[in-house]
Amino acid sequence: MAITVERREKPAAAGADAENDVGTIMVVGATGTVGREVVRRLTGTGARPLALVRPGRGEQLVEEGVGHVAADLDRPDGIDAALDGVDRLFLLTRQTGRQLAQEEAVIAAAARAGVGRVVKLSVFRAEETSPLQIARQHRRAERALQDSGLQHTVLRPVFFMQNLFAMVRDGTIATAAGEGRVAMIDARDIAAAAVAALTTVPARGRVYTLTGPDAVSFDQVAEVIGRQSGRAVRHVRVPGEAVCERLRGVGAEPWFAADMGLLQGMLADGYEDVVTSDLNSLTGIAATPLDRFVSDFGARFTSDPAAPGRPG
Ligand SMILES: NC(=O)c1ccc[n+]([C@@H]2O[C@H](COP(=O)([O-])OP(=O)(O)OC[C@H]3O[C@@H](n4cnc5c(N)ncnc54)[C@H](OP(=O)(O)O)[C@@H]3O)[C@@H](O)[C@H]2O)c1
């Protein structure tokens, strides 16, 4: 049985420049860390963003006046209707055991709808042979996109700086990353890359590996947050099992908690100690350094986090 699709669209601006009009751009994951910022930035380009939100969530969109369509990605029967009239699509889903099925459903519906371009948010080193399930399932979704024949671009970011909000607790940041350095990236820069890939840069199947400007250790992270927040913060080394245990304790799916414990051990060995210029080549902007990120979001580090970390 098809579900009812609630749709509220923003009309094209009167006098919009027809040459620059890239049509309606659906943002999947529009209420999350990256997606909210993609929607916000698209409103500044003259494009018509259309946020896909879970039924009942439209009112939580940041941008007033942004069109939205309600659909549950776990109900594929509603996705075709949601994609009606969509020209381009940003595809971001949460890291759950349903992620691959959700992305395959959206990709198949996008192909049926004749969507002109898809930009998929993936993960650093998405590979079939990765020890990390998150990397394997993203790679399978990338492959589904390649096999679909849709024009597309893939963005593979490293660790988000925004993960740090939930990692600093009671003046400590506990990781299994040891001395390992991570080229962490501000999710706002990922959104900038997504907007460029959606609106200006041709979609030729390229994969962009998105990183921050420097690889930093968690000792340095603690020092920067402590200095800028005026609260002492120290990096405490814990085993990967403790990371896994903590994430399970805040409701993470077991496979994901295990992935994160494993990932942090890989970070200790330099897994994300890699800086690329892909963000700059895609957008022309310089990646945000950690100290600017912490300064911009200072208030988030002076109050205790409400949500569990979701480092991926
Ligand atoms: N964090 C990292 O360090 C990192 C690094 C590299 C790659 N990634 C990748 O980035 C992605 C996560 O990005 P993010 O942090 O921006 O995500 P997020 O904040 O968790 O947002 C997820 C979005 O998906 C929506 N959503 C979830 N289930 C849905 C459903 N059944 N139907 C419709 N919408 C649904 C959420 O809506 P609600 O608001 O209604 O829940 C939200 O808008 C993952 O694919 C992850 O692998 C993360």
Helix (H, G, I), strand (E, B) or coil at 117: strand
DSSP character at residue 285: P
Instruction: Tell which wins on pLDDT, 258 or 306.
Output: 258
Phi, psi of 278 (to 5 degrees): -65, -35
- Quote the CA–CA distance of 200 and 209 in Å, as a whole number: 18
- So what's the pLDDT on residue 45? 86
Phi, psi of 220 (to 5 degrees): -65, -40
The verdict on the CB of residue 134 being under 6 Å from ligand 1 is yes
The predicted-structure confidence for 141-188, as pLDDT tens digits, reads as follows 999 999 999 999 999 999 999 999 999 999 999 999 999 999 999 999
Looking at the chain, the domain(s) classified CATH 3.40.50.720 span 7-12+20-150
Mean pLDDT of the chain: 91
Does residue 305 surpass a pLDDT of 50?
A: no
Q: Looking at domain 157-186+211-274+284-302, does it have CATH number 3.90.25.10?
A: yes
Looking at the chain, the domain(s) classified CATH 3.90.25.10 span 157-186+211-274+284-302
- So what's the pLDDT on residue 46? 81
- Quote the CA–CA distance of 33 and 13 in Å, as a whole number: 27
Nearest CA owner, ligand 1 atom 11: 94
- So what's the pLDDT on residue 269? 98
To test the pocket of ligand 1, the residue of 93, 96, 104, 167 to mutate (highest count of ligand atoms within 8 Å of its CB) is 93
State mean pLDDT over 56-76. Answer: 85
Of the given ranges (43-47, 51-55, 237-241, 289-293), which has the lowest mean pLDDT? 43-47
- So what's the pLDDT on residue 64? 79
H or E segment and range at residue 257 = helix 254-268
To test the pocket of ligand 1, the residue of 27, 94, 253 to mutate (highest count of ligand atoms within 8 Å of its CB) is 94
Nearest CA owner, ligand 1 atom 21: 32
Residue 202's CB is within 10 A of a number of other CB atoms, namely 10
- Quote the CA–CA distance of 302 and 233 in Å, as a whole number: 11
- So what's the pLDDT on residue 273? 98
- So what's the pLDDT on residue 6? 57
Phi, psi of 19 (to 5 degrees): -65, -35
User: Which residue reads 């040891």 in tokens?
Assistant: 178
Does residue 56 surpass a pLDDT of 90?
A: no
The verdict on the CB of residue 58 being under 6 Å from ligand 1 is no
**Residues 69, 50: contact at Cβ < 8 Å?**
yes
Query: CB-based contacts of 105: which residues, under 8 Å, 6+ apart?
Result: 73, 76, 79
Instruction: Report CA-CA distances (Å) from 106 to 50, 100, 177.
Output: 15, 10, 35
Half-sphere exposure of 141 (CA within 13 A, CB side): 33
The predicted-structure confidence for 89-130, as pLDDT tens digits, reads as follows 999 999 999 999 999 999 999 999 999 999 999 999 999 999
**Residues 46, 21: contact at Cβ < 8 Å?**
yes
The verdict on the CB of residue 38 being under 6 Å from ligand 1 is no
Helix (H, G, I), strand (E, B) or coil at 67: strand
- Quote the CA–CA distance of 224 and 234 in Å, as a whole number: 10
Query: CB-based contacts of 293: which residues, under 8 Å, 6+ apart?
Result: 161, 186
- Quote the CA–CA distance of 275 and 182 in Å, as a whole number: 9
The predicted-structure confidence for 212-223, as pLDDT tens digits, reads as follows 999 999 999 999
Nearest CA owner, ligand 1 atom 4: 312
Q: Looking at domain 7-12+20-150, does it have CATH number 3.40.50.720?
A: yes
- Quote the CA–CA distance of 210 and 192 in Å, as a whole number: 11
- 167-192 burial, b if ≥16 CB within 10 A, otherwise e? bbeeeebbbbbeebbbbbbbbbbbbb
Nearest CA owner, ligand 1 atom 2: 312
DSSP character at residue 270: T
The verdict on the CB of residue 54 being under 6 Å from ligand 1 is yes
Q: Measured on CA atoms in the order 196, 201, 205, 208, is the torsion positive or negative?
A: negative
